Chain A
Amino acid sequence: DIQMTQSPSTLSASVGDRVTITCRASQSINSWLAWYQQKPGRVPDLLIYKASTLESGVPSRFSGSGSGTEFTLTISGLQPDDIATYYCQYYNSYPYMYSFGQGTIVEIK
């Protein structure tokens, strides 16, 4: 099975900072990587799919990059509304296979 590893586990930054979260796959997953945002008590929301494509309605301060085994999620200009836990997810169809990273908690300093 493919394992996804995120770093850091927790990130504390100031409003306006550029924030980067890294996700590594245990083997190459091409660009089959999604990022989700989960606010406390809420269901996860899809931010980015295929490593770098922004989901409709997601603010442009969010961006994703990478391919193969290393990926990043960047928030350019952290906002108070971005306080959440962020998860990367490997996904594959036919047969369906998914794997989540362990999550990164983003806090305001």
Chain B
Amino acid sequence: QVQLVQSGSEVKKPGASVKLSCKASGYPFTSYPINWVRQAPGQGLEWMGWISTHSGNPTYAQGFTGRFVFSLDTSVGTAYLQINTLKGEDTAVYYCARPGILDTFDIWGQGTMVTVSS
């Protein structure tokens, strides 16, 4: 079935980097873009941006430029989110999500919890 499977939880120290993965299956990977959404503990959903799985071109939402990097490995149908110079406020669940033909997010990964703590 169509699904996005994300990598497991991460615990990192401030200043470190982390790279999360989102593996797609059940559909042609390059037919739909991948979006990233952040949800801090007890907070709402924040759209971080998207990456074209066709061209590899990333687009970052306001507030997610500089330390956040979207990338792909189309050979294995996987999207990545790298966060550099981690800060405490990066502690959150990070979701990948796929827009369907209606452009709303019809498929979500299960989320990856990232904890940044010294």
Residues of A within 8 A of B (CB): 1, 32, 34, 36, 38, 43-44, 46, 49-50, 85, 87, 89, 91-93, 95-96, 98-103
Seen from chain B, the residues whose Cβ lies within 8 Å of a Cβ on chain A are 33, 35, 37, 44-47, 50, 59, 61-62, 95, 99, 102-106, 108-111
User: How long is the Cα–Cα vector from A99 to B48 in the complex, in angstroms?
Assistant: 9
Question: Complex formed: what's the CA distance from A18 to B92 in Å?
Answer: 33
- 26 A–B contacts from the bound complex (CB under 8 Å): A1-B61, A1-B62, A32-B103, A43-B95, A43-B111, A44-B45, A44-B105, A44-B108, A46-B105, A49-B102, A50-B102, A85-B44, A89-B104, A89-B105, A93-B99, A95-B59, A96-B33, A96-B35, A96-B59, A96-B99, A98-B47, A98-B61, A100-B44, A100-B47, A101-B44, A103-B45
Q: Is the interface of A mostly helix, strand, loop or mixed?
A: strand
Contact, CB under 8 Å: A87 / B99: no
* Closest CB pairs A-B (n = 4): A103-B44, A98-B47, A43-B108, A100-B45
A46-B103 in contact (CB<8A): no
Indicate which residue in A46, A89, A98, A101 contacts B106 across the interface (CB closer than 8 Å). A46
